[in-house]
Amino acid sequence: MSEKIIGIMGAIPEEINGVVSLLSNKKEHKLGKRTYYTGEINNQKVVVVFSRIGKVAAATTVSTLILEFKITELIFTGVAGAIHSSLKIGDIVLGESLIQHDMNAHPLFPAYEIPLLNKAYFNSDNERIDLATSTILEMLEQQNLYDVITEEDLKKFNIHSPQLHVGLIGSGDLFFSTNSQKEKLQEKLPELLCVEMEGAAVAQVCYEFGIPYIIIRTISDEADDKSTVDFNSFIEKISNVYSIEIIKNIIK
């Protein structure tokens, strides 16, 4: 039986810098224009890396984690834009399933289906979804985030009672910054909770290699005309802290 090694990914440095700071026995490994950090969190071996933005960058990075660092499971953490009306800034989304919303080889293949895989939806591992769900709900119920994020920052982003949502996440090489983009996607995929640019690509690679994964996203914007407002500030002040708290509580 192989040793348990958890890969932890984010798309940009600000999404994983806090997680890197949790590592004991930290070592740096340079490979393919990436820096991979190995070490332990709560005595569990992990490898932490930021992939850069987009599906190709994410797929390349997770492939390296699997083939070179021999990870046995993956956690991806970062931000997303809300699509479903029930989501608010500061909410957390767990990807129960993931789809590449910009994949369309029709009429050769059905819309969204990955050619030759016969799959459009990639489902996360139920056991890990249950673990992440219970961990995050406990954090939210105990209001742990209020202990590590200032009241001023929470007010700045109008975060009052963040909620957990579990469902469908859409990924594509497209940043949503207009209401019309959002409305068109809602019409096509009404069950979609949020959009980002890496998760479904990571899910596809993990599926092909038989690696269980969970994709955890913090809602940073509403994927509309205001989606670029204070984006970097949100990542630094809010989502980075979310990632630290969620991961150190999942890995116990």
In a domain, residue 192? The reply is yes
How many structural domains does the chain have?
1
In a domain, residue 218? The reply is yes
Q: State residue 216 phi and psi, 5-degree precision.
A: -120, 125
Per the structure, the complete domain to which residue 38 belongs is given by: 6-250
In a domain, residue 240? The reply is yes
In a domain, residue 68? The reply is yes
Name the helix (H) or strand (E) containing 71.
none
Separation of alpha carbons 207 and 160, rounded Å = 36
In a domain, residue 242? The reply is yes
Separation of alpha carbons 224 and 231, rounded Å = 13
Give residue 168's pLDDT: 98
Give residue 223's pLDDT: 66
Tell me the one-letter amino acid at 4.
K
For the segment 74-99, what is each residue's pLDDT rounded down to a tens digit?
999 999 999 999 999 999 999 999 99
49-66 residues labelled b (16+ CB within 10 A) or e (exposed): bbbbbbbebbbbbbbbbb
Give residue 147's pLDDT: 87
Separation of alpha carbons 251 and 22, rounded Å = 11
The two tokens of residue 103 are 């994949």
Separation of alpha carbons 243 and 252, rounded Å = 15
Q: Between the CA of residue 240 and those of 72, 100, 210, 218, what are the distances in Å? A: 24, 25, 28, 9
**What CATH number should be reported for the domain holding residue 38?**
3.40.50.1580
In a domain, residue 108? The reply is yes
SS3 state of residue 237? helix
| Strand partners for 77 | 216
In a domain, residue 1? The reply is no
81 closest CA partner among 223, 177, 183, 218: 223
Separation of alpha carbons 79 and 242, rounded Å = 10
Question: Residue 35 carries which DSSP code?
Answer: E
Q: Which residues of the chain are modeled with pLDDT < 50?
A: none
- Taking the alpha carbons of 209, 56, 93, 238 in that order, is the dihedral positive or negative? positive
Tell me the one-letter amino acid at 153.
D
For the segment 120-160, what is each residue's pLDDT rounded down to a tens digit?
999 999 999 999 999 999 999 888 788 889 889 898 888 98
